[in-house]
Amino acid sequence: MLNSHLKSLQDKHEKLEENIRCESIAASRNDGLIDQLKKEKLLIKEEIERARQGA
């Protein structure tokens, strides 16, 4: 169960990373959106760390 939760978090983290990369190079770059995605990515990273410590 924990492994699937951890995998799900890692997948979300990777998806956010890709979204940040794409938005960063977009012609109509939206810095507000990039900041929001980075904050969400950080929260996911912290949750991954908590899940690993609890394993």
For residues 29 and 23, give the distance between their C-alpha atoms in angstroms, rounded to a whole number. 6
> What is the reported pLDDT for 54?
80
Q: Is 31 exposed, middle or buried (0-12, 13-18, 19+ CB in 10 A)?
A: exposed
Could you please report the per-residue DSSP string of the chain?
A: -HHHHHHHHHHHHHHHHHHHHHHHH-TT--HHHHHHHHHHHHHHHHHHHHHHHH-
For residues 36 and 50, give the distance between their C-alpha atoms in angstroms, rounded to a whole number. 21
In this prediction the pTM is 0.86
- 32-51 pLDDT, tens digit each: 999 999 999 999 999 999 98
Domain count, the chain: 1
Domain containing 8 equals 2-54
